[in-house]
Every structure is written in structure tokens, then in C-alpha cells.
Amino acid sequence: MATPRATFIAGATLLAVFAIPAPAAETPRDHGDYLFRAAGCGGCHTDEKNHGPALAGGPAIKTPRGTFYGPNISPDPAHGLGRWREVDFIRAMREGVRPDGAHYYPSFPYASYTRLTDDDLRALWAYLRRQPPVAQPNRPHDLPWYLRPRSLLSTWKALYFTPGAWQPRPDKDETWNRGAYLVEAVTHCGECHTPRDALGGPRRALHLAGTRDGPDDSVVPNITPDRKTGIGRWRKSEIVEYLASGMTPEGDFAGDVMAEIIDRSTSRLTAADREAIATYLLSLPPVEHATRKEKQKPAPGRDEFGF
């Protein structure tokens, strides 16, 4: 979407230059599938490790604020999205609100998905509607009592949430804008790579600078171009390779959560989209923020393996 202009010609020109289209190799029917994979939706909404049915609900996501379970988003009318309308889906993604008006917990990354364009939201909705319905009930979140009232989420939103589609920057080229859109909206990298405060809100000064308290107690690295604690020493080609295969410049490979994301999401992007992501990340301000946890020293009389 382009910034409004006083004349139709100026507005049309900006749209033509900076719109974020689907990759050229896709057909319109494929675009929803591409977005679904790019966003990694299957990771939260399918229990793949236990061979659960597709989109019928995801595995436990453990966080410092409780354990969340991705809901059933198949077209099942009883447990999934079968009774939803397109407008309900767009409102959920754009505003973080259920069809009944209740607020979603921010474990559902609507703070990033709100930036998706209307066309991409419609394509994603069309893709979900084509999937087989699965009659599987949702698992309730396991949260401490003081976080259960959804009414409290209106305060959280007032502090941390700004709804609205992402706006391209006219001072940047198409590759940068595509990368920004992918990182900040579609692949929602900041949801895991940005540390959070005591209320679960993102610490904006440390955007993408990593955290020691990631999902399932994982350490999520700094992906700003800081040379000491981030990816500032990586070449663009090395970032592109990492997103495709998981191999780091040192020859190691991604593990844990990131390995799943690469397998499910970034490796399935087009080469042009991976390059756009790398271009955008390397253009960001470097933020020095170490995330690696120090290894505990073994107890006296025991070696590092505990014997």
C-alpha cells in the first residue's frame, strides 16, 4: 500500500514502484500457500512431532509467562475457522480480536501480522479455506491465574500494539522494502528475536537484538549487524545461505527452534526473498546485546558431564 498523494498519478507511481507483489514464479492460486509457509504457520498450528493432523492445533509453546497452544485453524465448523467469515479472519490478524470480540494473547503474533497487506491476508484466508477440516478440540492455555482474564489485554495493546498495514519507504529500493515487509510482517522475526519486558511487551530499543528467554527456554541470537554480538561480520551471501540451508559462516548448522524455522519457512522462500531479507537485516542499526548464556561451572569433584 502506498502513502496517499494529492494526485492519482503520483499515488499510482508510488504503488508501481514500491508495492510488494507475490514472487514472479507463483500463480495467484499458489500465493496463499507461499505466505503460509513463509510465515511458518504449520509450526504453531500443527503438532508435527506427534504426527498430529495439519492445522488441528500445535504443540506446547513454553514462555516465561506460561504455556500456549496454537489453536485449530482448519475449516472445521466446531473447533476451527469453519464458521468464520473473511472479515473475521482479517480482523483477527489486523487487530488481534476474536469474532466474539475477545482479545487474543500476544503469543499469537498479530503485532506483526497486522502489517500484512489486505491482498496477502485475503490470499492466506483463501488458502486456509481450501484445507481439509479436522474435528479436533483446542487445548486451553496453561497460564497463571493473574494472566487469564483477557480483559487485561486491552491494556497490553494500549502499551505495545499499533495496528495497521506496513507502509513501504519511498526512500528505499524495492529489494529493501521487500525485505522489510518479510522480516517485520510475514516471517515476524521480531516476535522471537526481540527481548520482552516484565509485561511481555517488546523492548523496542533492542529490536531484533536477541534474547535469553526465547520459546521453550531457547537462546535467540542477535540478528542486528553488530560486529561483536550480532551478524555484523556476516556477508550478505552467508546470510542468504544460512536462510536456505542453516549453515553458518563457520560451517556449523542451526539447531533447535531455528532449524525448524529454516526447514519449514526460510528454505522455502525464493532466492530473491532470502536476499531481500539479508539486505534489510544488514541495513539496520547495530545493537550490541549479548544473548549467549554462560556455562555453569561443574560442582567440585565432578567433571563437566556430572560424573
Please check whether residue 43 is in contact with residue 58, taking contact to mean a CB–CB distance below 8 angstroms.
yes
pLDDT in 10s for each residue of the chain, 307 residues:
343 333 323 333 333 333 344 444 444 448 999 999 999 999 999 998 899 999 999 999 888 889 999 999 999 999 999 999 999 999 999 999 999 999 999 999 999 999 999 999 999 999 999 999 999 999 999 999 988 999 999 999 999 999 999 999 999 999 999 999 999 999 999 999 999 998 999 999 999 999 998 887 889 999 999 999 999 999 999 999 999 999 999 999 988 788 889 999 999 999 999 999 999 999 999 999 998 754 444 444 333 222 2
**pLDDT, tens digit (0-9, with 9 covering 90-100), for 22-39:** 444 444 448 999 999 999
Q: Give the tens place of pLDDT for each residue, 235-246.
A: 999 999 999 999
Q: Whole-angstrom Cα distance, residue 282 to residue 236?
A: 8
pTM of the model: 0.85
Q: What is residue 217's predicted lDDT score, i.e. its pLDDT? A: 80
